[in-house]
Amino acid sequence: MTEFFDQLIETLQNEALRRPGMNASQATLNELFSERKQTVPRELPAVHAAASAAPRAPEPMPGSSPAAPAAQEPTPRRQLVPGTLEHLAETVRHCRNCPLCETRLNAVPGEGNPHARLMFIGEGPGADEDRQGRPFVGAAGQLLDKMILAMQFRREEVYIANIVKCRPPRNRAPMPEEAAACIGYLEHQIRMIKPEVIVLLGATAAHFLLKREEGIMRLRGRWLEYDGIPVMPTFHPAFLLRQESAKREAWEDLKQVMRRLGIPVPAPGRTAR
């Protein structure tokens, strides 16, 4: 968390921001979240979870000594209760709806609290996410983690998903046909999670979820709506890594989200604890 604030402080040219610590309001928030988790069942029990959902390993490099048999058995499908996020994730892991399934190592269904108040939606998995089968685990993911912490959430309290669940080769943006083949999964996830606020990371997410054509410079910082849910578009963390000066605006967007969720926003000009 400190690093994100440190970077912000730099960006704001030494305008100090108070780092939110585990103060009374944070403790209350945590308590509220854990109460919520206790009173709402997190997930219906699985009927069977026969096969492991462990991510597929990369193929060995040509010429290297094979450590395992070359032909891989297809991973058997886990039997889960239909209508749950885990069931949807298992369906995504076996999805062959578009050509991205040919080049992926692992599909990346999304992860987080099924009862999250806050949902983040990115564009699509990159190389790290493809290797691990988890969203936002690379460099952009590390920055997203700091943004989440700065907003007084833990990563496991929010839900993180993408427009497309499989990596577009060479990290290109998803094609319209790929997004069209995949968007139904995201729509179901949103319907199941029912977050209070959605943060869209980057123009691609806004384009495919909200059918907006404007660039992120125009869209960011304005409340939009998806299916009755308030949506805040902001810069993608990968962009923020390249364009440090945009962190100031991103933080303004995230503060709007905090206010909407009733989370105290740290006052400027206070020393970090």
Let me know if 175 is exposed, middle or buried by CB neighbors in 10 A (0-12, 13-18, 19+). middle
Nearer to ligand URA, 123 or 157 (CB): 123
140 lines the binding site for ligand URA (CB under 6 A): yes
Which is closer to ligand URA, CB of 20 or CB of 125? 125
Amino acid at 262: G
| Reduced 3-state DSSP string for 93-108 | HCCCCCCHHHHCCCCC
Per DSSP, which regions of 48-165 are E strands?
Answer: 111-112, 118-122, 159-162
* Of positions 114, 135, 168, 195, contacts ligand URA by CB under 6 A: 135
Q: How far apart are CA 120 and CA 162, in angstroms?
A: 8
Minimal CB distance residue for ligand URA: 122
CA end-to-end span of the chain, whole Å?
12
Of 152-181, binders to ligand URA (CB under 6 A) are: 162
DSSP 268: B
**Cβ distance 183 to 124 under 8 Å?**
no
Binding mask 208-247 for ligand URA (x = CB under 6 A): ------------------------------x---------
CB atoms within 10 A of CB 218: 13
By C-beta, is 87 or 167 nearer to ligand URA? Answer: 167
Among 20, 114, 124, 174, binds ligand URA (CB under 6 A): 124
For ligand URA, which is the closer residue by CB, 87 or 134?
A: 134
HEC readout, 196-249: CEEEEECHHHHHHHHCCCCCHHHHCCCCEEECCEEEEEECCHHHHHHCHHHHHH
* Residue choice 20, 125, 133, 195 for contact with ligand URA (CB under 6 A): 125
Interaction mask 2-41, ligand URA, x per CB under 6 A:
----------------------------------------
Residue with smaller CB distance to ligand URA, 60 or 169:
169
Q: Measured from the CB atom, is 92 or 140 closer to ligand URA?
A: 140
> ∠ CA 193-196-197 to the nearest 5 degrees?
105
- What minimum distance in Å lies between the beta carbon of 128 and ligand URA? 7
Closest contact distance (angstroms) between CB of 20 and ligand URA is 25
* 12 DSSP 8-state letter: T
Query: Which of 263, 233, 234 shows the shortest CA–CA distance to 250?
Result: 234
Measured from the CB of residue 161, what is the shortest distance to ligand URA in angstroms? Answer: 8
Q: Of 122, 133, 174, 233, which one interacts with ligand URA (CB under 6 A)?
A: 122
145 contacts ligand URA (rule: CB under 6 A): no
Chain contacts with ligand URA (rule: CB under 6 A): 122-126, 129, 135-136, 140-141, 162, 238
